[in-house]
Structure 1
Amino acid sequence: MQEQFGEKIPFCEPYWYQGGHSPYYTENHKKYRALVRDFVEREVKPNVDKWLKTGYPKELHQKSCELGVESVVYPREFGGKMPQDYDPFYEMILYDEVARVGGGMVLGHIMINGLGLPPIIAAGTPELKKRVLPDVVAGKKFVCLAITEPTAGSDVAGIRATARREGDFYIVSGVKKWITGGAYSDFFTTAVRTGGEGMGGISLLVLEKDMPGITIRKMETQFDTSHNTTFITLEDVKVPVANLLGKENQGFKLIMANFNHERFIIAAETCRKARICYEESIKYALQRRTFGKRLVEHQIIRYKLAEMARLIEALYDNLERVGFQFKSNVPDAKLGGQCALLKVNASRTFEFCAREAAQIFGGNSIVKEGKGKIIERLYREVRGSAIPGGSEEILLDFVIRQAATEATKSKL
């Protein structure tokens, strides 16, 4: 067995934390794991209850970037600090460790930049990158992804926000809804319609918060308010053509590539949330006494804990398998089905674990204080994992439609 890290109770940490062997993780991964955990324990956990009410300070983001606790492989010429041997398993470690705060998305900015910035890195002009990346990499500014609209959630091809070309500018009008991080973002990687209907008429533009015509309104959400979900109104916003990412009417591919990545990181974060449900539950079951004995001595409670552990470990193995495909440079177009199944496995595992944890904690799980407050908080986050990034039903339908298409091509 290898050296253990973190909690010693079985299944409260990933298997390789608790001495298990793995082909995926090196000594550098272990050092990064220790770095992120120390940051979360020292800078975040002591303040999480307060920040859930007030929102987290932007200075926290600067501290994380200075340490290299980043969600994006920021180009080193712009100050990126990620390890030279960076791979998707570093990203798994990051989101797994950050989720240990016990809900609340206090470090939601990590995911926000991780979604809004990759299209700029991949398809932005050199001039645009020079204008956006330095301050974002330094943690001084934020960039979010503005895709969803009131009438187009998972149906991205149905967006209605328009960008009309007038000389060297696009005139952008429309609305965006459920935009995470919109209230404190400086740049918006925005899906707009520059052509006809469907996916073939969509482009990506980078909008900037100071552009006239942008109105941002915060939306209260079911799980918390610290990460600033917003409604954005765009009224004749004048955007330079130089802010176009890639080619006009070819933004849909960039969006879809980003969605696979989004589903992967949502699953990584969600897996740890499910694991926290198990960890809190088994610790509580070892202490709480009912009918003259500890909860863990009741067979039905052991069964609940075992089912939680079974699903969590299977989900983590699924994460590693998909992570290895990304590391092996499997074309993104080949990973859509796998990422969709992974994300559904994650949200359904979390939903099961949150419910069972609430049953184990009983009345303590429905109040925002005391021994069950983390479970209460996590229970409210279940839908926040099941819906963003593609709802379960749409993702499962996509998986089989894609499989049927491939089967038809192969004339099976």
Structure 2
Amino acid sequence: MASKELKTFTRKEVAKHNTSDDLWIVIDAKVYDITRFKNLHPGGASVLVDEEVAGQDATEAFYGLHRHDVILKPQFARLQIGIIEGEQAVIESRVVGELSKVPYGEPTWLTPGYHNPYYSENHRTFQKAVRKFMDEIVTPDANAREEDGKPPSKSVIEAMAKVNLHAMRMGPGKHLKGLELMGGIVKPEQFDYFHELIITQELARTGRRGYGDGLMAGSVIGLPPVLNFGSPEIKAKVVPDVLSGQKPICLAISEAFAGSDVSGLKTYAKKTEDGKHWIINGTKKWITNGTFAHYFTVGCKTDDGFTVILVERGEGVETKAIKTSYSPAAGTAFITFENVKVPVENTLGPEGAGIFINYLLKLSYSNFNHERWVMICSAARSQRLIVEECLKWTNQRKAFGKPLHSQAVIRSKLAAMIARVESVQNWLENLTFQMNNMSYKEQAAKLAGPLGILKMQATRSAQLTATDAVQIFGGRGITRTGMGEFIEHYHRTVPFDAILGGAEDVLGDLGVRQAIRGLPKNVKL
């Protein structure tokens, strides 16, 4: 369909159309005839007929009440009949894939004029491609699924598999060998933790926390034990299933009886008399992606200690959705295992009490380290999105006749938000650099503590930022649609980050205990 030809008007001509039966307005040098629309306006016709809006420039009034996305919707765009003579629109629409121009809207390595020692040109090229992918394919689906509560669309999962994003979210490693990553932008041997950080942070920009976890986040934490401890036969079967997006996996450790205290698990696995199978009975709770997972990496008590076993969905496995203040899109589940028969070959790593502590530490410091690092990446970028939203809002919102940021108390909140997000991002990049230059064994020995403390810092600062953002947005900050939709969503979902992957106090204590173990015996004040 050909676009309609727009006429040119003077502001005096527009001013004549100021009655209920003939109502025009100007928004950003564009002229709209809203005569027929006024009765459909959610705020009522009286707002539009008001003498300060009818026939006048309504730009300030519009952006005081609506996001820019509203004016781009087809039903509103159709109301445009012309433009103002000699004037140009000045408000820019966000271009898919482009960087934000808002100060602190991007980390410094993406901010023009700043320098960073960690990122190469390959990282920058990779970031552009990932952002374009997320903006074009993921974000529209994230918005829709957050609305209807369904899991991410199959088309998105398949699109991610096509460029091997699922594989890259597992981090660097042998599982990438022979794969074409993001259309060949990065070679498998080049791929490092900064590439993975980019993927996680670009995904976080959707501002839809529950959807982000629904997008196979369970596989990010459920598959590594298979990659690291599974037999060649198990890996040959399971890894392609998961990385193709066809059969997701999830990590099933937490129970109603045990969370951070993994030694308190009650799900029990007992071997059959012939020693060829495990029989598993028990329950798991708060399992991300559990409602739609095909494989389950399950932590079990056994006769001689603690064992992790890969379970395939089948007879005796039942999953139920858990309703939370989070999002149904995450697929959070309560799982019941009733006499589930599993081949003993599905055991992931060693079993038994003799090496219980060492194995538990190995699993925790490797798989859990990566999980917590991923959550820190996401938390840092999510906070930055909130900082950007607040800076935009305080610039366009008027209070007492001046922009909101003219008030010192608002600027103080913004300063604290910026300080928090920049400090988390910088410590994160430092630890990511360490990960790139340490062996897996060194990471387990040295980084569990710092990552635990940083996750604690990231989630505590996130909750402070969420609270400040609600105060800045006022009533809009607790409204699920409109100007404050991202603020409301963030404030509602941010407590989950403080719990998932290890509660704040537990992780902080982990970091301090590791530091204490490293204290030289001969140091004194």
Scaled by the length of structure 1, what TM-score is found?
A: 0.94
Measured after TM superposition, the shift of residue 408 of structure 1 is: 7.0
Between 1:179-188 and 1:331-340, the stretch displaced more is 331-340
Alignment of 1:255-270 (within 5 A): 255-270=364-379
Counterpart Cα distance in 2 of 1:44 and 1:51? 10
What is the one-letter code of the residue matched to 2:226? I
Measured after TM superposition, the shift of residue 411 of structure 1 is: 7.4
Alignment of 1:7-406 (within 5 A): 7-19=100-112, 20-52=114-146, 53-55=148-150, 56-70=152-166, 71-73=169-171, 75-76=175-176, 79=179, 81=181, 83-84=187-188, 85-108=190-213, 109-166=215-272, 167-196=275-304, 201-210=305-314, 212-249=315-352, 251-252=359-360, 253-329=362-438, 330-406=442-518
2:320 is paired with a residue whose SS is strand
In structure 1, runs of 5+ residues without a counterpart are none
Measured after TM superposition, the shift of residue 331 of structure 1 is: 3.2
1:105 is paired with a residue whose SS is helix
Cα RMSD (Å): 1.9
1:205 is paired with a residue whose SS is strand
Counterpart Cα distance in 2 of 1:159 and 1:333? 25
Q: 1:245 to 1:78 in 2, by over 3 A?
A: farther
1:232 is paired with a residue whose SS is strand
Which of the two has higher C-alpha Rg?
A: 2
Between 1:69-78 and 1:244-253, the stretch displaced more is 69-78
In structure 2, runs of 5+ residues without a counterpart are 1-96
Contact 2:276 2:343 in 1 (8 A): yes
Scaled by the length of structure 2, what TM-score is found?
A: 0.74
Identity rate of aligned residues, in percent? 36
Measured after TM superposition, the shift of residue 403 of structure 1 is: 2.4
Counterpart Cα distance in 2 of 1:359 and 1:225? 27
User: Once the two structures are superposed, what CA deviation does each residue of 1:47-67 show, in whole Å capped at 9, x if it has no partner?
Assistant: 333201232223311211212
Contact 1:5 1:17 in 2 (8 A): no
Between 1:43-52 and 1:294-303, the stretch displaced more is 43-52
Q: 1:77 to 1:86 in 2, by over 3 A?
A: closer
Counterpart Cα distance in 1 of 2:417 and 2:260? 29
Q: 1:79 to 1:239 in 2, by over 3 A?
A: farther
Counterpart Cα distance in 2 of 1:264 and 1:223? 21
What is the one-letter code of the residue matched to 1:405? R
2:379 is paired with a residue whose SS is helix
Contact 1:78 1:134 in 2 (8 A): no
Counterpart Cα distance in 2 of 1:163 and 1:79? 36
What is the one-letter code of the residue matched to 1:13? E
Count how many residue pairs are aligned between Structure 1 and Structure 2. 404
Counterpart Cα distance in 2 of 1:233 and 1:110? 21
User: Once the two structures are superposed, what CA deviation does each residue of 1:211-255 show, in whole Å capped at 9, x if it has no partner?
Assistant: x21111110121211011000011111110110111113542224
What is the one-letter code of the residue matched to 2:170? V
User: Once the two structures are superposed, what CA deviation does each residue of 1:84-125 show, in whole Å capped at 9, x if it has no partner?
Assistant: 211111121111110111123323234221111111111111
Measured after TM superposition, the shift of residue 80 of structure 1 is: 6.7
Counterpart Cα distance in 1 of 2:417 and 2:484? 17
Counterpart Cα distance in 2 of 1:77 and 1:321? 27
Measured after TM superposition, the shift of residue 78 of structure 1 is: 7.6
Counterpart Cα distance in 1 of 2:511 and 2:436? 22
Measured after TM superposition, the shift of residue 353 of structure 1 is: 1.0
| Higher relative contact order, chain-length normalized (CA < 8 Å, sep 6+) | 1
Moved over 3 A (4+): 76-83, 408-412
